[in-house]
A and B are shown apart, each in its own frame.
Chain A
Amino acid sequence: MAWLGHFNYWIFVFLMMAGFYTVIARGNLIKKIVGLNIFQTSVFLLYITMGKVSGGTAPIVPEGGSEGVVYSNPIPHVLILTAIVVGVATTALGLALIVRIHEAYDTIEEDEIQDIEENANTLENSGGQAS
């Protein structure tokens, strides 16, 4: 039952693959962003897990000195704080792009957008300049 000890890592792998699959398999742009979020969040979990020391507390010096206190490694937490900010920025930018795409194409389904783009291509090629 050694694999149970890596419980967090299994969740990480599951979330990562679920998110990744959603990004690839879904045609709806919002769902793609949701998938991307799950994908990124799984990495947050990976970092938090690796920083955990069993039996460790928060890395704050308690009253009366830190003698013999076991604490978790704070560095992965700090790192992932940065990655969370990056994730928020990516999501915001992605959603902003989706708003613009919706304005331009009137849809957020990938296959419908592709149809519109292909039609535009054939129109341009037959009908001369359309700028």
Chain B
Amino acid sequence: MIAAHLPALQIAVPLIAAPICLLLRRENLSWAWATFISWVVFALAWVMLEKTLTGGAFNYELGGWEAPYGIEYRVDALNAFILLIVAAIGAVVMPYARASVAREIPEHKRGLFYTAYLLCLTGLLGITITGDAFNVFVFLEISSLSSYALIALGRDPKALTAAFQYLIMGTIGATFILIGIGLMYQMTGTLNMADLAKRLPAVEDTRPVLAAFAFFIVGVCLKLALFPLHLWLPNAYAYAPSVVTAFLAATATKVSIYVLYRFVFTIFGQSFSFDVIPLESILLVLSLAGIFAASIVAIFQTNVKRLLAYSSVAQIGYIMLGVALVSVAGLTASILHIFNHAIMKGALFLCMGAVYYQIGSVKIEDMNGIGKKMPFTMFAFVIAGLGLIGVPLTVGFISKWYLITAVLEKGWWPVAVLILLSSLLAVIYIWRVVEAAYFKAGDSDDVVVKEAPVSMLIPIYVLTGASVYFGIETSLPLGTAAEAAKQLMGIGG
């Protein structure tokens, strides 16, 4: 009867695997173990997504305690989809990790690295699957604490200050979330999400609920790095080890966005979030400001990982813009872009990891002429970069298309124009890298730079391939995103 316990296994497997990984000690063993577990987790997530798409949402009572008293895991189309994204990125990144980690992390820390990675994976999956508000906080801290440690493993001493800054801001965010959840509990006497959704409308005019909402939204926006609360993100992504950057950029902020969806739409409900409090105007302004400010800052970066990190802040702007539309079409575009951005950014950061592996730097001026020396890596970078711009036949085009359609459905054509203009900024920052890689002669010919090892190229091409494949054959992400959006908006499902 293992099928009945799928939701629990999804969390229990990586959680129990983490201390075992610590005991393995040997670098290769712990890598193999972490890779194996990542694939098991991916398989579990896949089976659960299939199950929700065919049979609808299902619940799991942890330890057999009934729902409002015990902790409940609830899987529906939305979080099964997010689970799949997190698990898939983990499964793709781990085979890549071996070579990259061997280059970037001191030998005695490698076993610990994989342990922290498994804990981070557990936390991210846990936030997504749980149906209990306080459980969200607990898993959030599991994933955050392990990601602070992972970021601090970067070779540059700046990784330490970046991790510290993230620790301060992340903890403030998490504590705000804790205050929000506490106030919600105070007013309703329950922590179960479904139960909260039922009981909150009765007390929604009270000041503690308003305060809870405010604390919660600010806390989550800190975690998901919505402009102008993104200050921790660029340094953390720029100086973390390449594997960590690729994994976190594709998953961590996305999971926080899921938490926002869940609380804003399912728990507080649309009428409270958007009629009582004008959340959509706040999000609209901040996301547009974020798209432009971050894209412009990205143009002036000399460190490509930092450039891509600022681009992530801009992309989060697109995702939140979809939320600000408060329509099924807008949410579909938003959820779709979570998936598409995870693929593209994962691929881009993996490419930069391969470049760092070979030349020990990710600065633009050190990448002159690298297109000839590392043709496969840079070709993948160009393809994934085109996706970021939103060129047709890539996933980036699909998400922008649906976002603009959703915006026009609302009749906000100036916003649609702004989205198109902001894509031009993406052209500029991607072009700067492409220009250096292909059109500038390398100045140090004495250094022999070869292509990255195959174990790194395959994961890069899996993600790059996915970014083209899902740009043409959109039925899986689009169908799931549309279904999830309908459920969030309370239509059908």
Give me the interface of A with B, judged by CB distance under 8 Å.
Answer: 16, 20, 23, 29, 32, 36, 39-40, 43, 46-47, 50, 75-76, 79, 82-83, 86, 89-90, 93-94, 97-98, 100-101, 104-105, 113, 117, 124-125, 129, 131
Which of B40-48, B172-180, B474-482 is the interface stretch?
B172-180
Q: Does B271 contact A (CB under 8 A)?
A: no
Q: Does B376 contact A (CB under 8 A)?
A: no
| CB within 8 Å of A: which B346-372 residues | 360-361, 363, 366
Q: Does B465 contact A (CB under 8 A)?
A: no
Q: How near does chain A come to B69, taking the closest CB pair, in angstroms?
A: 10
Q: How near does chain A come to B13, taking the closest CB pair, in angstroms?
A: 22
Q: How near does chain B come to A59, taking the closest CB pair, in angstroms?
A: 15
User: Across the interface, do B138 and A86 meet the contact criterion of CB distance under 8 Å?
Assistant: yes
User: Across the interface, do A94 and B182 meet the contact criterion of CB distance under 8 Å?
Assistant: no
Q: How near does chain A come to B362, taking the closest CB pair, in angstroms?
A: 11
User: Across the interface, do A40 and B175 meet the contact criterion of CB distance under 8 Å?
Assistant: yes
Which of B148, B164, B168, B302 has the most chain A CB atoms closer than 10 A to its own CB?
A: B164
Contacting residues, chain B, for A79 (C-beta < 8 A): 134, 182, 185, 191
Distance between Cα atoms of A83 and B145 in the complex (Å): 13
User: Across the interface, do B361 and A93 meet the contact criterion of CB distance under 8 Å?
Assistant: no
For residue A124, which residue of chain B has the nearest CB?
A: B363
Q: How near does chain B come to A5, taking the closest CB pair, in angstroms?
A: 15
Q: Does B167 contact A (CB under 8 A)?
A: yes
Task: Pick from B160, B179, B191, B361: contact of A46, CB below 8 A.
Answer: B179
User: Across the interface, do B172 and A90 meet the contact criterion of CB distance under 8 Å?
Assistant: no
Distance between Cα atoms of A20 and B186 in the complex (Å): 23
When A and B form their complex, which 7 residue pairs have the shortest distance between CB atoms, in order from nearest? Answer: A104-B157, A131-B360, A50-B186, A86-B141, A97-B164, A101-B160, A100-B160
Q: Does B11 contact A (CB under 8 A)?
A: no
Distance between Cα atoms of A34 and B182 in the complex (Å): 23
Also in contact, A97 and B152, with CB within 8 A (given A76-B182, A79-B134, A104-B157):
yes
Also in contact, A101 and B164, with CB within 8 A (given A50-B186, A129-B361, A131-B360):
yes
User: Across the interface, do A104 and B160 meet the contact criterion of CB distance under 8 Å?
Assistant: yes
User: Across the interface, do A83 and B178 meet the contact criterion of CB distance under 8 Å?
Assistant: yes
Q: How near does chain B come to A28, taking the closest CB pair, in angstroms?
A: 12
